[in-house]
Copies of this chain bind each other. A is one copy, B any other.
Amino acid sequence: MLAAQRKDLILTTLRDQGRVVAKDLAAELDLSEDTIRRDLRELAAEGHLHRVHGGALPASPAVADFTARTTIGTGAKAEVARTAAALVRPGQTVAIDGGTTARELARALPADLRATVVTHSPTVAVELAVHPTVEVIIVGGRLFKHSVVAAGALAHEAIGRVSVDAFFLGVTGIHPAAGLTTGDADEAAIKRAWTERAAETYVLGSGEKIGAASAFEVVPLAAVTAVLTDAAAPARGVAELRAAGVRVLGVS
């Protein structure tokens, strides 16, 4: 057995059994405990496991966190997110906005999806850090703490150099007359910049946002490909959007 294989075995054993006992493994592999201890020490130094007396434990309780994280979300936002995730094609480059629905979208992406996600949301980036196949590009800038997204001229400039197949836009208001709105002017400009760089723009619009309007327009409704909402969205609001020529997905 090669030394590298042995390290893989250690990590696999850790994952499967939740622990490694140095003495047992040495006997099993017919090696000295010294060798196993050396392996454990090195793997611990690289952050792959937690070295304890007599063996090793998993690196962190992050396994439990991973499980919680991958629990399928319920509620309106998760519904919207699923509708959105189904629109992402393998091989595409898509941009994801910030916010809780956007975060749900990051979670809802299929585990085998091979695509590139560009985002100015560190929260979305952290969510996608555990995705096995999606490539993630972070757009930097000044952190707008209210929404936990990068904003300002730095972000705006960086977005201007990106082109994406689709942009998943988060807003706070979806109104037939007022259009798509949000509460901060700088954030509105960032979102607008994304729509200008995207072939298609889908609004993440759970029902509570329909009929609402905030202070700053992002883009008019005519500028987007569709509004993605949920089954419980208000029928009148949906009807009004459709009457205005807007494509609404996620509700009959």
Mark A residues whose CB is within 8 Å of B. Answer: 2-5, 8, 19, 21, 41-42, 44-47, 50-55, 57, 120, 122-123, 125-126, 128-131, 135-143, 145, 148, 150, 154, 158, 172-173, 183, 208-209, 212-214
Q: Which of B2, B42, B55, B145 contacts A2 (CB 8 A)?
A: B55
Closest chain B residue, CB of each to CB of A150: B138
Q: Give Cα A181–Cα B93 distance, bound, in whole angstroms.
A: 34
Question: Which residues of the partner chain B approach A51 to less than 8 Å between Cβ atoms?
Answer: 208
22 A-B interface contacts by CB (under 8 A): A2-B21, A2-B54, A2-B55, A3-B53, A3-B54, A5-B57, A45-B172, A45-B173, A45-B209, A45-B212, A45-B214, A46-B214, A47-B172, A51-B208, A123-B126, A125-B148, A128-B143, A129-B148, A135-B143, A136-B145, A138-B143, A139-B140
Question: Which residues of the partner chain B approach A52 to less than 8 Å between Cβ atoms?
Answer: 2-5
CB-based contact A129/B150 at 8 Å? no
Q: Give Cα A214–Cα B44 distance, bound, in whole angstroms.
A: 11
Question: Which residues of the partner chain B approach A55 to less than 8 Å between Cβ atoms?
Answer: 2
Q: Give Cα A138–Cα B142 distance, bound, in whole angstroms.
A: 6
Q: Give Cα A213–Cα B45 distance, bound, in whole angstroms.
A: 8
Q: Give Cα A221–Cα B46 distance, bound, in whole angstroms.
A: 19
Question: Which residues of the partner chain B approach A129 to less than 8 Å between Cβ atoms?
Answer: 122, 143, 145, 148
Question: Which residues of the partner chain B approach A213 to less than 8 Å between Cβ atoms?
Answer: 45
Q: Which of B5, B19, B126 contacts A126 (CB 8 A)?
A: B126
Q: Give Cα A2–Cα B58 distance, bound, in whole angstroms.
A: 13
A50, A130, A137, A214: residue with the most chain B Cβ atoms closer than 10 Å: A137
CB-based contact B135/A142 at 8 Å? yes
Q: Give Cα A50–Cα B44 distance, bound, in whole angstroms.
A: 22
